[in-house]
Amino acid sequence: MSRERTMIIDLKAFDESKTGVKGLLHAGAEKIPSIFVRSQEDLSKEFDTYQEDLAIPIVDLTNVRQTDIQGEEIIRRIIWASEKWGFFQLVNHGIPLEVLDKVIEGVRMFHEQDVDLKKEYYSRDHTKQIGGLQVLHQNQWVNVKPVPGALIVNIGDFLQVSSTTWSRMTSFEEYITEFIAKKVGPRISIAAFSTGPVSSTKIYGPIKELVSKDNPPIYKEFTRQEFLEQFFTRAFDQLIIQYFRQTT
């Protein structure tokens, strides 16, 4: 049986079970379904470099309100991390650790419920199968080692278009690759997306105060609806941010 045919069968069975990945474990699966395995041909096209000693920047907000000098230094570090990496970990952000722990515990409790209760909420994401914590930096894959209590911040498309300098940055889709599973137990990741309601007529684009004759906008203005239309109709291998780039 061809790999494509096997993937179709596995995907159909996975969707019909409505139990998600956790259900595979509870069902006693002895091998990883083909829908979660990339072919050697696909893998050979990816970057095969890997850096163990690199780490994404950490931004400490402890002194953000203490003095102008300290605040400006934190701002400069955020700008540097955003331009060079597109990611950074935020510590001492003011959210109590016990609050973050309760959020994680709430997610854990949901997934520990009876399968029949969870089936009502099952859906398959529109996005690609992204497992997690590895980012591409200067053509090298870098593991993201979470710092306890830290928030991992990604400069996504909506924030990128507001800048007139972040033209070299790639988008969220290109920066993250699949999580490399290791036998360290279950992992819970919680993502919070700040994009506004789909029905909003708000216009997104470069910050007006940053635009000038000598510093023209890099991206066009758009609404969230226009963004989503391009997102779901674009070519699989194309970055959505490029659709809104200004042409000369």
pLDDT tens string 128-151: 444 456 776 766 777 777 788 899
Could you list the residue range(s) of the whole structural domain that residue 33 is in?
1-37
- Clarify whether residues 97 and 125 are in a common domain: yes
Q: Is residue 209 part of a domain?
A: no
Q: Is residue 201 part of a domain?
A: no
Domain count, the chain: 2
Residue ending a domain, among 137, 168, 190, is 190
pLDDT category at 180 given cuts 50, 70, 90 is very low
State how far the Cα of 17 lies from the Cα of 35, in Å rounded to an integer.
14
Q: Is residue 150 part of a domain?
A: yes
- Clarify whether residues 56 and 147 are in a common domain: yes
- Clarify whether residues 48 and 22 are in a common domain: no
DSSP H stretches of helix in 119-211: 157-160, 172-175
Q: Which long-range contacts (CB under 8 A, 24 or more apart) does 91-95 make?
A: 91/58, 91/59, 91/60, 91/61, 91/147, 91/149, 91/150, 92/60, 92/61, 92/62, 93/61, 93/150, 93/151, 94/61, 95/151
What does DSSP assign to residue 62?
T
- Clarify whether residues 91 and 168 are in a common domain: yes
- In sequence order, the β-bridge partners of residue 222 are 204
Rounded (5°) CA angle 23-180-138: 145
The average confidence (pLDDT) of the chain is: 74
Half-sphere exposure of 27 (CA within 13 A, CB side): 16
- Clarify whether residues 27 and 51 are in a common domain: no
- Clarify whether residues 73 and 19 are in a common domain: no
Q: Is residue 107 part of a domain?
A: yes
**Phi first, then psi: what are they for 58, rounded to 5°?**
-115, 130
Residues 16, 18, 20, 26, Cα dihedral to 10°: -90
- Clarify whether residues 73 and 1 are in a common domain: no
Q: Which long-range contacts (CB under 8 A, 24 or more apart) does 182-185 make?
A: none
- Clarify whether residues 52 and 15 are in a common domain: no
Model pLDDT for residues 189-205, shown as the tens digit of each residue? 788 877 777 778 888 88
Q: Is residue 127 part of a domain?
A: yes
3 state SS of 161:
coil
Model pLDDT for residues 48-59, shown as the tens digit of each residue? 555 556 788 999
Q: Is residue 211 part of a domain?
A: no
- Clarify whether residues 22 and 98 are in a common domain: no
| Radius of gyration of the CA atoms of the chain, in A | 21
- Clarify whether residues 67 and 147 are in a common domain: yes
Of the chain, the percentage scoring pLDDT greater than 90 comes to: 10
3 state SS of 78:
helix
The answer to whether 188 and 143 have CB atoms below 8 angstroms apart is no
- Clarify whether residues 26 and 56 are in a common domain: no
Q: Can you state the percent helix, strand and coil of the chain, rounding each to 5?
A: 40, 10, 50
pTM flag (> 0.85): no
- Clarify whether residues 16 and 83 are in a common domain: no
